[in-house]
Chains A and B, each alone.
Chain A
Amino acid sequence: KQEVTQIPAALSVPEGENLVLNCSFTDSAIYNLQWFRQDPGKGLTSLLLIQSSQREQTSGRLNASLDKSSGRSTLYIAASQPGDSATYLCAVGSYNTDKLIFGTGTRLQVFP
């Protein structure tokens, strides 16, 4: 059974710092990994999708990497801003099923 863990559970940093959020999964037989952002009381917004054949994806100040063999992904946020404050969730999709299994999230606060 696939299990997804995110570390740290919460993070509070001053504006301008570069951040790394971690996601680990127990079954390396995945076909993709997706990072989402969730603002309080809102839905999930897809940030980056990495397919199993890829090593990383970039969008603006965000960069996500994937190491299937070690069961890890990292989300790198460069030059953090208060507007980045949200919960970040990673989710993995496994072969032979369309299910997306979520981690418990990292709650990020960036203060001015």
Chain B
Amino acid sequence: DARVTQTPRDKVTEMGQEVTMRCQPILGHNTVFWYRQTMMQGLELLAYFRNRAPLDDSGMPKDRFSAEMPDATLATLKIQPSEPRDSAVYFCASGLSPLGNYGYTFGSGTRLTVV
């Protein structure tokens, strides 16, 4: 059963520290998304890539967040420096463009707590 793998599952860190979250998309999927979920805002799209190229990162605070795809099997989301307001669950999803036909598959998420 193909799935999107995210690591770590949980991360607790102190304010000011760097945080790196990783995602392994489903093999063959060419589009990767990063979402953040909080009670207040629900699911927000932070950034997404197609064929490893960033297409839209307008939902991401650029001063502290960065997203990359070093290769087709790995996507990363970094926060430096982290702040308590970054505490949320971060989801990665992958799909095969054109997405009208296939939809998205989500990972289990990384629960980030910044203290």
On whether the two chains bind one another, the answer is yes
Report A's interface with B, CB cutoff 8 A: 31-32, 34, 36, 41-46, 49, 51-52, 89, 91, 93, 97-105
Least Cβ–Cβ distance between A51 and chain B, in angstroms: 6
Chain A contact surface mostly: strand
Closest to B50 in A: A98
- How long is the Cα–Cα vector from A42 to B102 in the complex, in angstroms? 22
Binding-face segment, B13-21, B61-69, B71-79, B103-111 = B103-111
**Contact check: which of B55, B98, B105 meets A46 at CB < 8 Å?**
B105
Considering only residues 71-106 of chain B, those with a C-beta below 8 Å from chain A are 91, 93, 95, 97-106
Chain B contact surface mostly: strand
Least Cβ–Cβ distance between B67 and chain A, in angstroms: 15
CB of B100 within 8 A of CB of A32, answer: yes
CB of B91 within 8 A of CB of A52, answer: no
Least Cβ–Cβ distance between A57 and chain B, in angstroms: 11
CB of B95 within 8 A of CB of A44, answer: no
Report B's interface with A, CB cutoff 8 A: 31, 33, 42-43, 45, 48, 50, 55-56, 91, 93, 95, 97-109, 111
Q: Quick one: given A43-B109, A46-B105, are A99 and B100 in contact (CB under 8 Å)?
A: no
CB of B45 within 8 A of CB of A99, answer: yes
Q: Quick one: given A93-B99, A98-B95, are A46 and B43 in contact (CB under 8 Å)?
A: no
Central interface residue in A43, A102, A103, by most chain B CB within 10 Å? A43
**Contact check: which of B99, B105, B107 meets A98 at CB < 8 Å?**
B99
CB of A98 within 8 A of CB of B101, answer: no
Q: Which chain B residues border A43 with CB–CB below 8 Å?
A: 91, 106-109
Least Cβ–Cβ distance between A25 and chain B, in angstroms: 15
Least Cβ–Cβ distance between A93 and chain B, in angstroms: 6
CB of A98 within 8 A of CB of B42, answer: no
Q: Which chain B residues border A31 with CB–CB below 8 Å?
A: 98-100
CB of B103 within 8 A of CB of A32, answer: yes
- Shortest Cβ-Cβ A-B pairs, 6 listed: A31-B100, A44-B106, A43-B108, A102-B43, A49-B103, A104-B42
